Amino acid sequence: MTDFQAIVLAVIEGVTEFLPVSSTGHMILASSFMGIAHDDFTKLFTIVIQLGAILSVVVLYWKRFLQSWDFYKKLFVAFLPAVFLGLLLHKQIDRLLESPLTVAVMLVLGGFVLIKIDDWYGHNTDTNIDYLKALKIGFYQTLAMIPGVSRSGATIVGGMIEGLNRKTATEFSFFLAVPTMLGATAKKLWDYYQDGLHLDQTQLQLLLIGNIVAFVVAMIAIKSFINYVSHKGFKIFGYYRIIVGLLLLFIHFFVHPLSI
C-alpha cells in the first residue's frame, strides 16, 4: 500500500463512515479496484483508520459526552451485543472481509430497506432512548458485521424501528460508533500482535496518515449528513446503494469476477 492509496482509502472512510452505505464495504471494493494486496496489514488498516473518523464525533459532540453517566450507561448497554458476537464470530467476520461479492449483494438489499424506511417510520417523533431501546439498537448494529450492511445504516434503521425520529436515531448511531470502533480497533491490534505480526515504520506512517485524513474528512461529512437526513431522509442513499451494488454484480458476472 502506498501513501496515495492510504489517503484514498481514508477519504472514502471519512465520507462513508457515517453514511448508511457501508464504509468497510467501500474500502474493500476500493482496495480491490486499486489492486491493494488484502493481507493482514490491509485488514488492520481498514479497521484502525475508522478510529480517526470516530474521534471526530467526540470533537463535534463533546458536550454530549459530558452530560451524564446515564448517557454512558446506555452506550455501554448498546455496545454489549457487538462485544459478544464479535468475539464469538471474529473468524467468520474476517472471511467475509475478503468477499467483494458479499458487499455487492448487501448494498442492494440494504438499499431497498433505506428507500422504504422513511415511508414506514419517517414520521416518528420519539426522542427518548431507554435501556431496552439501547440494547435493541445494539443488536441491530451486529448486522453490520456483514460487509456491505453499514454500521450506521443498521443502527439508524434499528433506532427508527424502535420509534426514534431520524435525527435522534442518527445521532445515537454516531455516539455508539465511539465505543464500538474503539473496541474493534483494540481487538484488531491485539490479534495482529498475537499472530506474531509487527508494524514497521512504513506501516505506522500509513496508519497515521489514514487516521488524520479520515478524521478531517469525517468532521465535514457528519454535519452535512445530519442536516441532510433531518430534512430529506434516506431515499437517496438507498438508490445509491442499489445502483452501486447492481453495477458491481454486473461486473462480477459479465465482465470479471470480483476478488481481493
| pLDDT tens-place string over residues 36-57 | 877 888 888 988 998 899 889 8
Mapped onto helix, strand or coil, the DSSP state of residue 260 is coil
Name the least confident of 106-110, 149-153, 201-205.
Answer: 149-153
pTM, whole model, 2 decimals? 0.84
pLDDT higher than 90, residue 155: yes
pLDDT band at 139 (very low <50, low <70, confident <90, very high): very high
- Please choose, from the candidates 20, 14, 22, the residue with its C-alpha nearest in 3D space to the C-alpha of residue 56: 14
Report the C-alpha dihedral over residues 117, 224, 173, 234, rounded to 10 degrees: 10
The three three-digit cell numbers of residue 182, written as one number: 474503539
Q: Looking at 98-163, list the stretches that DSSP marks H as alpha helix, in order from N- to C-terminal side.
A: 100-121, 131-141, 151-161
Give the CA angle between residues 205, 207, 212 to the nearest 5°. 95
- Burial grade of 219 (CB within 10 A; 0-12, 13-18, 19 or more): middle
Percent with pLDDT over 90 in the chain? 45
Q: Which three cell numbers stand for residue 106?
A: 448487501
- The answer to whether 156 and 118 are in contact (CB under 8 A) is no
Rounded to a whole number of angstroms, the distance between the first and last alpha carbons of the chain is 14
Q: Which of 243, 205, 1 is nearest to 107 (CA)?
A: 243
| In contact, 136 and 158? CB cutoff 8 Å | yes
- Name, in order, each residue with C-beta under 8 angstroms of 3's C-beta and a sequence gap of 6 or more: 205, 206, 209
Q: 54-108, pLDDT tens digit by residue?
A: 889 899 988 888 888 999 999 999 999 988 887 777 666 666 555 778 888 999 9
Q: Compute the mean pLDDT over every residue in the chain, rounded to the nearest whole number.
A: 88
CA distances from 252 to 26, 146, 245 (A): 16, 19, 10
Eight-state DSSP code of residue 20: T
Region 131-135: mean pLDDT is 96
